[in-house]
Amino acid sequence: MKKKFAFVMDPLESVLPDKDTTFAFMLESLARGHELFHLGLKELFTLGHRVFGRARRCEVMRATPHCRFLDGGAQYPLEHFDAIFMRKDPPADAAYLYATMLLSLTGRSHTFILNEPAGLREANEKLYSLNFPDAIPPTIVTYEIARLKQFMAEQGGEMIVKPLDGHGGEGVFHAHSGDRNLNAILETVTRFETRP
């Protein structure tokens, strides 16, 4: 049975088809005969007590160009869709958090939301793994550069440094204690000790 799937995500034109799991979800959904709709965070809004989205029907393909919009978009109550895939990449900024709050208001009797909005607010993908210490390497989360250097020394002089709000390998460094750019790396990742 044909379903209507909405994808709340970054612009389709910016997707890297060989790396993006959302693109793979879309390809498979299309192959199974479902209708695809695209919308960004800015296209979500409320009117009265209902949540709406301005969404455009689309198709995706492996060939270039990787996407094609089938219409100019229309306003739909979110209950119009059988499923909504919340697939917006970080950062989890205010716009992202507000979008999860709006999605939480969507009627669930008909619409399934993949990536539970409350879960996205509560479970940062980098921090959530700390709940499973036996399954992860030694880990530190801190604002302090001196503490990061101490941790690196305890780990044999090297470590992987990554921002909590990054994605797709963005801002990830393999740092070594003898690296001439170590201070610059740690200052960049911690934004001069203003974020962990």
Which residue ranges make up each domain of the chain? 4-122, 128-190
- What torsion, rounded to 10 degrees, do the Cα atoms 125, 130, 131, 137 define? 110
26 CB contacts (<8 Å, ≥6 apart)? 5, 7, 36, 60
Q: What is the pLDDT of residue 135?
A: 96
Q: What is the pLDDT of residue 92?
A: 79
Alpha carbon of 157 to those of 93, 127, 168, 192: distances in Å? Answer: 33, 23, 25, 21
Separation between Cα atoms, residue 25 and residue 29, nearest integer Å: 6
Cis before 138? omega within 30: no
Q: Tens digit of pLDDT per residue, the chain (196 long)?
A: 999 999 999 999 999 999 899 999 999 999 999 999 999 999 999 999 899 999 999 999 998 899 999 999 999 999 999 999 999 987 778 899 999 999 999 977 789 999 999 988 888 778 889 999 999 999 999 999 999 999 999 999 999 999 887 777 888 999 999 999 999 999 999 999 998 9
Dihedral (CA of 79, 84, 86, 88) sign: negative
CATH number of 4-122: 3.40.50.20
- Residue 163: strand, helix, or coil: coil
| Residues 141 and 135 sit within 8 Å (Cβ to Cβ) | no
Q: What is the pLDDT of residue 123?
A: 84
Q: Tokens for 32?
A: 């199974």
CATH level 2 (architecture), domain 128-190: 2-Layer Sandwich (3.30)
- Residue 146: strand, helix, or coil: helix
Q: What is the pLDDT of residue 107?
A: 75
**Count of CB atoms situated within 10 Å of the CB of 51:** 21
Q: What is the pLDDT of residue 170?
A: 83
Q: What is the pLDDT of residue 162?
A: 92
